[in-house]
Amino acid sequence: MFPSSFAYHRPASVEEAVALIGANPDAKVLAGGHSLIPAMKLRLAMPEALIDLNRIDALRGISVNGEVTIGAMTTYAQLLDDAGLGGRFTVIHDAADHVGDVQVRARGTLGGSIAHADPASDFTAVILALGARVTAIGPEGERTIEADDLFVDLFTTALRPDELLTRITIPAVAGTVVTAYAKHAHPASGYPVVGIAAMLTMEGSTVSAARIAVTGATSKATRLTAAETALTGQAADAAVIDRAAAAAEGLEINGDAYASEEYRRHLVSVLTGRVIRQAIARAT
Amino acid sequence: MTERGDGVEGMPDPVTKQLTTLRVNGETHTVAAEPHHTLLEVLREELGLTGTKHGCELGECGACTVLVDGVPLLSCLTLPAQVRGMEVTTVEGLADGPRLHPLQTAFAEEGAAQCGYCTPGMLMAAKALLDANPQPTLEDMQQAIAGNLCRCTGYTAIYEAIAKAASGGGAGAQPLRRTGAGRASASHT
C-alpha cells in the first residue's frame, strides 16, 4: 500500500519552505508523517506535492531560558530526552511518555501533532494547559497565535493554508507552578479516549491560578473553565478537588463504539480530579 | 522531477522513477524507485530484502520496523528520500556472515515465534533496546516492543528470548523472572 503519487520537495530553510507552500496550494507539509502518510495511503489525503521539513535544522530543538521554546520539528523522543523540561514542564514528559510507541516517538513531532489537531492528540491539551503560543510564518511574515485561539474544530486550526508553524513557546510564569497529564488510553491505538492536562499556581495550599484542558472527549482540545473556576482561590482540599472534578462535566462530549458519551463524561471527571491531585503532590 | 497531471483523464498519472542512494546493511545502493513508494517497498521490491514485512502498512503493527542510524523506525511510513545519507539496518543485516545474531539464536531457542511474521520487526526493536540498554528489565522490554504486535502467541517467549540474548545467550541461561526478583538474582550470580 502506498500513497497516490506526489512531487517531493525537501527545502533547506524555512524561507524556502514558505515559498514552496505558496507556490503549491495543493501541497501538504511533511513533518513526522505518522498521521499524514497513513491518511495518504487511505486516500483521505491526496496532495499534489509534499514539502518535507526534515532537513530544516532550525525547526528542531528545545531552549529553556525562563520561557521554553520548542521547534515545531522536535520529536517526542527529543522531548523525553531533554533534562531541562523538569519542574513545571513535567507535563510534557508525562504526555510524551504516553504517545504511541518507540517507533512513533522517534518520528512524531510536536508541531506536526498540533498543526494536525487530531481531536485525540495528547499535546493539544498540554499546550492549552501551559498557556503556550505558537509562531507561524507565511508570505506576510511571522505572527503568534495563542493556544486558546489555535484549535478551531476537528482537525482544524487557526493556521492559514499558506502558513507554516515554526515553534511553540511556553511563557515564564511566576510563583510555584505545578503541572500534570493523565489519560485513559484506547487499549488498541494508545490514543487518549480522554486526556487531561493541568497547570496550577500554588500559594501554600491555595490554588491561585488554574489552567485545565481536555482532549479525546471533545471535537477539539478544550479548556475546562468551570473546573478552573471551582479551584481558583480555594484551598485545595478533597471537597474542593471533588467539586472541580464534577464541574468538568458541563461539556459537549462525543461518544463512539469504544466509549459512550456517558463513559467519557465519567472519565473526564475522574481524570480531572486525578490530575489535580498529581499536580498538587508535585508542589511539595 | 516527478510530473503529474498530464496523463489521460481517468488513467494513472505518469510517475518517473527517481534515483536514490541508500546505505543498507553496510552497503551503498543506488536504486531507481517511485518517489511515492515507502522505504518498505524499496527495501523489498528494489533491493530484494524481503525480511522486512508488510503488516498493517499504517504504522500500527511494527512488522516493518528497521533501524535508521540505530533508531527503530516504521519503514512503511518513511519515504526513501528521508533516509538518504543514513544507515539503514534490516533483519538481513543482523547476522555476521553465517553466524546468527545472539537475538536470532535466542528467539529460535526460546520458540519466540509462531507464524514468524512479526519476528523481523521484533528482532530490530529488540536490537535497538539491547544496543542502548544491555541489561533491560521486563518493563524496559515491554516498552521497547510495545509498538510490535504479535497475534499468534503473546509476548512471554519473546521477553524470555530478549532476556536470554541480554544475558549472553547459550544453554543454561536463566528463565525470565519478574522485574525485581530477576534483577536481584542476576546480581548474585
On whether any CB of chain A is under 8 Å from the CB of B185, the answer is no
Mean pLDDT of A235-254: 91
Which residue is closest to B68 within chain A, CA to CA? A106
Average pLDDT, chain A: 95
What is the structure's pLDDT at B173? 44
Comma-separated ranges of CATH 3.30.43.10 domains in chain A: 7-51
Grid coordinates belonging to B7: 496523463
On whether any CB of chain A is under 8 Å from the CB of B62, the answer is yes
What is the structure's pLDDT at B10? 54
Comma-separated ranges of CATH 3.30.465.10 domains in chain A: 59-170
Asked if the model's pLDDT at residue B188 lies above 90, the reply is no
- Going from N- to C-terminal start, the domains of chain B cover 18-93, 102-177
Contact flag A189-B60 (C-beta cutoff 8 Å) = yes
Output the CA torsion sign for A134, A229, A195, A68. positive
What is the structure's pLDDT at A182? 96
Which residue is closest to B58 within chain A, CA to CA? A38
d(CA B136, CA B142): 10
Q: pLDDT (tens digit, 9 = 90+) per residue, A134-143?
A: 999 999 999 9
pLDDT interval class at B153 (50, 70, 90): confident
Chain B environment of A102 (Cβ under 8 Å)? 72, 125, 128, 143-144, 146-147
- Identify the CATH homologous superfamily for domain B102-177: [2Fe-2S]-binding domain (1.10.150.120)
Instruction: Tell which CATH architecture fits domain A7-51.
Output: 2-Layer Sandwich (3.30)
CATH fit for domain A59-170, picks 3.40.50.150, 3.30.465.10, 3.40.50.300, 3.40.50.2300: 3.30.465.10
- Identify the CATH homologous superfamily for domain B18-93: Beta-grasp domain (3.10.20.30)
Q: pLDDT (tens digit, 9 = 90+) per residue, A82-107?
A: 988 888 899 999 999 989 999 999 99
Chain A environment of B65 (Cβ under 8 Å)? 103
Contact flag A5-B72 (C-beta cutoff 8 Å) = no
ipTM attached to this prediction: 0.91
- Best of A44, A75, A103 to disrupt the B interface by mutation (most B CBs within 10 Å)? A103
Pairs of CB atoms within 8 A across A/B = 90
What is the structure's pLDDT at A217? 95
d(CA B121, CA B143): 14
Q: pLDDT (tens digit, 9 = 90+) per residue, B57-105?
A: 999 999 999 999 999 999 999 999 899 899 999 999 999 999 999 999 9
What is the structure's pLDDT at A188? 85
Chain A environment of B128 (Cβ under 8 Å)? 102
pLDDT interval class at A162 (50, 70, 90): very high
DSSP A118-165: -TT-HHHHHHHHTT-EEEEEETTEEEEEEHHHHEEETTEES--TT-EE
Residue indicated by cell numbers 466509549: A259
Q: pLDDT (tens digit, 9 = 90+) per residue, A33-47?
A: 999 999 999 999 999
Nearest chain B CA: its distance from A123 CA (Å): 19
Find the range with the poorest average confidence among A105-109, A189-193, A209-213, B176-180: B176-180
Q: pLDDT (tens digit, 9 = 90+) per residue, B157-177?
A: 999 999 999 998 654 444 554
d(CA A36, CA B137): 34
Q: pLDDT (tens digit, 9 = 90+) per residue, B6-47?
A: 445 555 555 678 889 999 999 999 999 988 999 999 999 999
Mean pLDDT of B127-138: 97
Find the range with the poorest average confidence among A116-130, A246-260, B77-91: A246-260
pLDDT interval class at A57 (50, 70, 90): very high
Asked if the model's pLDDT at residue A70 lies above 90, the reply is yes
Grid coordinates belonging to B100: 546468527
Chain A environment of B58 (Cβ under 8 Å)? 1, 38, 41-42
Q: Is B89 left (phi over 0), alpha (psi -120 to 50) or beta?
A: beta
- Report whether CATH 3.30.390.50 matches the domain A176-281: yes
Residue indicated by cell numbers 486558546: A148
Asked if the model's pLDDT at residue A219 lies above 50, the reply is yes
Asked if the model's pLDDT at residue B186 lies above 60, the reply is no
Helices (H) and strands (E) counted in chain B, each on its own, are 6, 5
Chain A environment of B62 (Cβ under 8 Å)? 101, 103
